[in-house]
Amino acid sequence: MVKYSMKIWVNKASSFQEAEEFDLDYYLKMGPRKRLALVQELRERSFKIGRKHENRKRLRRVLRIIKQTQS
């Protein structure tokens, strides 16, 4: 598994729509493996928080991995 360190950055937007467009553009520029690694890291962090705070159990989700055939 590839781990990426998270950086904190700030973007000042003049509207919610502009902020959403910035976020979408940022994540689309990121490679698919890097996006998946980031999701996994955030998922692991949420599980660690959940252990400390029992009321956060509702964050757990069931996932199913589907292998796609190349056409």
Q: Answer yes or no: are the C-beta atoms of 13 and 5 closer than 8 Å.
A: no
Structure confidence at residue 44 (pLDDT): 85
Structure confidence at residue 22 (pLDDT): 93
Tell me, yes or no, whether 68 lies in a domain.
no
At 58, list the tokens: 């509702």
Q: Is the pLDDT of residue 14 over 70?
A: yes
pLDDT tens by residue, 24-40: 999 899 999 999 988 89
Q: What is the mean pLDDT of the chain?
A: 79
Q: How many domains does the chain have?
A: 1
Residue 2: HSE in the Cβ half-sphere, 13 Å Cα cutoff: 10
Answering whether pTM is above 0.75, one says: no
Tell me, yes or no, whether 30 lies in a domain.
yes
Structure confidence at residue 29 (pLDDT): 92
Structure confidence at residue 46 (pLDDT): 78
The domain of 32 spans 13-37
